[in-house]
Chains A and B, each alone.
Chain A
Amino acid sequence: MPFEEVRPLKIAVCVKAVPDTESKIVVAADKSNIDFTGLRFITSPYDEFAIEEALRIKEKLGGETVVLSVGGAETTDVLRDSLARGIDSAVHLQDPAFTNLDSLSIAKVLAAAIKDGGYDMVFLGQQGVGGDNSQVPGMLAELLDLPQCTMTVKLEVEGTNFKAEREIEGAHELVEGTLPAVFSAQKGLNEPRYPSIKGVMAARRKEITVKNAEALGLAGKVGNGVAPLKLAEMAAPPDRPQGRLIEGDPDSQVKTLVNLLKTEAQVI
Chain B
Amino acid sequence: MASGILVFIEQRNGQIRKSSLEALSEARSLAAGKEPVSALLVGHNIKELSATVNKCKPDKILVADQAEFANYSTEGYAAALSAAIKQTDARLVLCANTSMGKDLIPRVAARFDAACVTDVSEIKMNGDKMQVVHPMYSGKTRGLFELNSAVSFITLRPNVFALTEVENGHHAPVEDLAVSTGNIRAKVVDTHAAAGQKIELSEASVIVSGGRGIKGPENWGLLQNLCDVLGAALGASRAVVDAGWIDHQQQVGQTGKVVSPQLYIACGISGAIQHLAGMNSSKVIVAINKDPEAPIFKHATYGIVGDMFEVVPKLTEELRKTNN
- Given A150-B102, A258-B315, verify A229-B193 contact (CB < 8 Å): no
Instruction: Please tell me which stretch of A77-85, A198-206, A232-240 contacts chain B, meaning at least 4 of its Cβ atoms lie within 8 angstroms of it.
Output: A232-240
In angstroms, Cα B143 to Cα A230, docked, is 10
Contact of B187 among A19, A150, A175, A234 (CB under 8 A): A175
In angstroms, Cα B188 to Cα A177, docked, is 9
Contact of B255 among A139, A187, A240, A253 (CB under 8 A): A187
**The 3 nearest A-B residue pairs measured at CB:** A177-B186, A147-B186, A138-B106
| A5 close to B (CB within 8 Å) | no
Interchain Cβ contacts under 8 Å between A and B, 28 examples: A25-B137, A25-B141, A103-B106, A104-B113, A104-B115, A134-B119, A138-B104, A138-B105, A147-B75, A172-B191, A173-B72, A175-B189, A177-B186, A177-B187, A181-B186, A227-B115, A228-B113, A228-B149, A229-B147, A230-B145, A231-B143, A234-B142, A244-B301, A244-B302, A244-B303, A245-B297, A257-B304, A261-B284
| B299 close to A (CB within 8 Å) | yes
Contact of B110 among A138, A168, A243 (CB under 8 A): A138
Chain A residues closer than 8 Å to B186, beta-carbon distance: 147-149, 162, 175-178, 181
* Interface contact B138-A148, CB-CB below 8 Å: no
For chain A, the bracket of interface size reads 35 or more
- Given A129-B254, A169-B98, verify A250-B189 contact (CB < 8 Å): no
User: Which residues in window 125-139 of B have CB below 8 A to A?
Assistant: 131, 134-139
**What is the distance, in angstroms, from B198's C-beta to the closest C-beta of chain A?**
8
* Interface contact B188-A175, CB-CB below 8 Å: yes
* Interface contact B191-A174, CB-CB below 8 Å: yes
In angstroms, Cα B138 to Cα A130, docked, is 7
**What is the distance, in angstroms, from A76's C-beta to the closest C-beta of chain B?**
22
**What is the distance, in angstroms, from B151's C-beta to the closest C-beta of chain A?**
10
Query: Scoring B residues 19 to 32 as 1 if CB is less than 8 Å from chain A, else 0, what string do you get?
Result: 00000000000000
- Given A133-B118, A243-B297, A268-B263, verify A25-B140 contact (CB < 8 Å): yes
Contact of A172 among B110, B143, B192, B298 (CB under 8 A): B192
* Interface contact B314-A251, CB-CB below 8 Å: yes
* Interface contact A260-B302, CB-CB below 8 Å: yes
| A157 close to B (CB within 8 Å) | no
* Interface contact B185-A139, CB-CB below 8 Å: no
Contact of A132 among B119, B149, B197 (CB under 8 A): B119
| B164 close to A (CB within 8 Å) | no
**What is the distance, in angstroms, from A86's C-beta to the closest C-beta of chain B?**
23
User: Which residues in window 211-248 of A have CB below 8 A to B?
Assistant: 227-237, 240-241, 243-246
Besides A134-B106, A138-B106, A262-B322, 17 other CB < 8 A contacts? A21-B254, A34-B137, A104-B114, A130-B136, A148-B107, A169-B99, A170-B193, A187-B255, A227-B115, A230-B146, A232-B131, A234-B144, A240-B299, A243-B298, A243-B302, A250-B314, A267-B284
| A131 close to B (CB within 8 Å) | yes
**What is the distance, in angstroms, from B298's C-beta to the closest C-beta of chain A?**
8
Query: Scoring A residues 155 to 188 as 1 if CB is less than 8 Å from chain B, else 0, what string do you get?
Result: 0000000100111111111111110010000011
**For the complex, would chain A's binding face be called helix, strand, loop or mixed by DSSP majority?**
mixed
In angstroms, Cα B75 to Cα A170, docked, is 23
For chain B, the bracket of interface size reads 35 or more
- Given A169-B203, A228-B148, A253-B304, verify A237-B194 contact (CB < 8 Å): no
User: Which residues in window 83-123 of A have CB below 8 A to B?
Assistant: 102-104, 107
* Interface contact A237-B248, CB-CB below 8 Å: no
Q: Which of A188, A229, A233 has the largest count of B CB atoms less than 10 A from its CB?
A: A229
Chain A residues closer than 8 Å to B51, beta-carbon distance: none
| A9 close to B (CB within 8 Å) | no
Contact of A250 among B134, B135, B306 (CB under 8 A): B306
**What is the distance, in angstroms, from A139's C-beta to the closest C-beta of chain B?**
4
Chain A residues closer than 8 Å to B303, beta-carbon distance: 243-246
In chain B, what residue has the closest Cβ to A18?
B137
| B159 close to A (CB within 8 Å) | no
| B163 close to A (CB within 8 Å) | no
- Given A129-B138, A245-B303, verify A139-B249 contact (CB < 8 Å): no
| A27 close to B (CB within 8 Å) | yes
In chain A, what residue has the closest Cβ to B121?
A237
Chain B residues closer than 8 Å to A232, beta-carbon distance: 131, 144-146
In angstroms, Cα B152 to Cα A146, docked, is 23
Contact of B192 among A102, A147, A171, A257 (CB under 8 A): A171
| A74 close to B (CB within 8 Å) | no
In chain B, what residue has the closest Cβ to A245?
B303
**What is the distance, in angstroms, from B90's C-beta to the closest C-beta of chain A?**
15
